[in-house]
Amino acid sequence: MQDFGVLEKFNYNIIPPKALIIKEVLWSSPRNSWIKCNIDGATLGCPGLSACGGIFKGHDIIFRGCFDEKLPLENAFQAVGALRAIEIAKEKSGNFLWIEIDTQLLVLNFKNKSLIPCSLRYKWE
């Protein structure tokens, strides 16, 4: 917001883009003994400028941890994020993990491992 203030001082007209679709998203807590990880990623369309991150919460909505990863592959942040969440959950809390991510590509990756980039396939398996 401070950046917008600076732009306004130079009489720069700010016209934010209109959202194409606005959806209400409600967070629901996992069952007892489960950990939920919400994952998101971003890319600028070229290697080295992609990242993903996730946040872990329990059924009591208490923060359990988070992670972020810089990625070498611009189109694999869903797979890397899910893999990292699984590794962390296995180290810390056991077997019950609920992953929430905003893409159907990850589901396709679970169904067809040939969609996973070669550099991640060993870890994925």
Instruction: Give me the CATH number covering residue 66.
Output: 3.30.420.10
- Residue whose tokens read 């994925």: 124
Answer whether residue 102 is part of any domain: yes
Region 34-52 average pLDDT: 77
114 domain-assigned: yes
Residue 48: what pLDDT? 64
Q: Is pLDDT of 55 > 70? A: yes
Residue 115 lies in a domain: yes
Share of the chain above pLDDT 90, in %: 0
Task: Decide if 40 is inside a domain.
Answer: yes
> Which residue range is the domain that position 79 belongs to?
30-124
pLDDT at position 17: 76
Is 9 part of any domain?
Answer: no
DSSP 51-120: EEEEEEEETT--EEEEEEEEES-TT-HHHHHHHHHHHHHHHHT-S-EEEEES-SHHHHHHH-GGGS-HHH
Domain total for the chain? 1
CA–CA distances in Å: residue 71 to residues 12, 21, 53, 89, 90: 35, 28, 11, 20, 21
Residue 7 domain-assigned (yes or no): no
Looking at residue 74, what is its pLDDT? 52
| Structural domain includes residue 39 | yes
Q: Flag whether 67 is in a domain.
A: yes
